[in-house]
């Protein structure tokens, strides 16, 4: 009868499970964070590429309509839904030089469950010179 508690004190069968639970949780969270970061970086890169195509259209034809540039940008987006993409156009003049500004934003919600329900905005903008005013 006295040997039973002594055997329990020396038993280490469950120690590996507890250690794995602690280390595994950190590893899984780190892995999911890396996936989310990579996903965000991919989306930002695609948005930058789409914006470069739109800026190129403006550079080759400064009088191109905003709708035509918007179509080029939306067609270049290959993730999510291009309908969620928010595109804003504007113009500005600095030192006699006219510029056309384009800003695109995309709301991103994290895929990690339970972390947050809020989305954040990825933003890319370009300021394209139109020539002397």
Pairwise CA distance, residues 90 & 58, whole Å: 12
* Mean pLDDT computed over every residue of the chain: 86
pLDDT in tens, 19-66: 888 899 899 889 988 998 999 999 999 999 999 999 999 999 999 999
Q: Sheet of 97-109: strands edge to edge?
A: 86-94, 97-109, 119-132
CA–CA–CA angle 56, 62, 68 (5° rounding): 70
The answer on pLDDT for 6 being more than 70 is no
* Cβ neighbours, 10 Å, residue 48: 13
pLDDT in tens, 100-132: 999 999 998 888 766 667 788 999 999 999 875
Query: Which tokens sit at 42?
Result: 């991919």
The answer on pLDDT for 74 being more than 80 is yes
DSSP, collapsed to helix, strand or coil, labels residue 118 as coil
The pLDDT value given to residue 10: 64
* Cβ neighbours, 10 Å, residue 83: 8
pLDDT, mean of residues 74-80 = 89
Whether this prediction's pTM lies above 0.85 is answered by no
């Amino acid at each position: 009868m006295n040997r039973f508690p002594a055997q329990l004190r020396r038993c280490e069968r469950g120690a590996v499970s507890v250690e794995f639970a602690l280390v595994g949780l950190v590893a899984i969270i780190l892995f999911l964070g890396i996936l989310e970061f990579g996903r965000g970086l991919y989306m930002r890169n695609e948005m930058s590429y789409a914006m470069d195509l739109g800026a190129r259209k403006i550079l080759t034809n400064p009088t191109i309509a905003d709708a035509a540039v918007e179509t080029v940008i939306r067609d270049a987006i290959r993730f999510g839904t291009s309908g969620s993409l928010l595109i804003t156009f504007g113009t500005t003049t600095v030192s006699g030089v006219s510029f056309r500004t384009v800003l695109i934003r995309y709301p991103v919600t994290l895929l990690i469950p339970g972390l947050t329900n809020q989305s954040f905005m990825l933003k890319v903008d370009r300021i394209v010179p139109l020539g002397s005013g």
